[in-house]
Amino acid sequence: MECHEDKGKGKYVHSAIAMGCTTCHAVTNQKDATFINLVSPASELCFTCHEKSSEKVLHGPYAQGNCIVCHSPHVSDWPKQLLAPPEDLCMGCHVRARLKVNKRKRTATVPWGVILTFDQLKGWQYIGLNKALTANHPVEGHPVTGPNTALGKGATGITCLSCHQPHHSERANLMPPNVLNQTALCERCHKFG
């Protein structure tokens, strides 16, 4: 940490930092050269401390062990070591216009700088929002950000996490627990009949 103090100071610091660098990194010296490697394959490293869910629906990056697509392994300005605000993370990958695609290299770069290969994006679901990227999911006109006017004053704002779990779920489309179907999800905010 004497040389890498930036890895341990910030608004939100990963708890593993307090356990020491060798929790995640193996340091070796060979012929006057120092080598730093991960103690486990990158796709398995986070699951050495964080148990991987066995639920049937897994978010793609989570399922692949690509936690660093959304989370910093060290420090962040956002809770849970997110690399950007939650809305920006979701829309950075799931709104096609936010990705910078390099067809020659077969990669896409998300707004916070992470580069994903086309193989990593296979099966990715894109949502079609309005030009302001504020509405039209899951149906035309439905807001994806801003105040929750359906629930009235004092309600928390609408985010992707209002309707979806970020990592895993027993329900399709990463719906929250205890939501049996799409209609039940809508009825959490909208009263019908």
In the chain, what is the straight-line distance between the N-terminal and C-terminal CA atoms, in Å?
Answer: 60
- Closest by CA position to 137, among listed 153, 149, 124, 125: 125
Q: Residue 193: what pLDDT? A: 63
Query: pTM for the full model?
Result: 0.87
- With 0-12 / 13-18 / 19 or more C-beta atoms within 10 angstroms meaning exposed / middle / buried, residue 166 is middle
Query: How many angstroms separate the CA atoms of 47 and 27, rounded?
Result: 20
Query: How many angstroms separate the CA atoms of 188 and 103, rounded?
Result: 41
Pairing of strands 12-13, 100-102: unpaired
Mean pLDDT by 10 residues, the chain (193 residues): 80 91 92 92 95 94 94 94 91 92 96 93 89 93 90 86 94 90 89 73
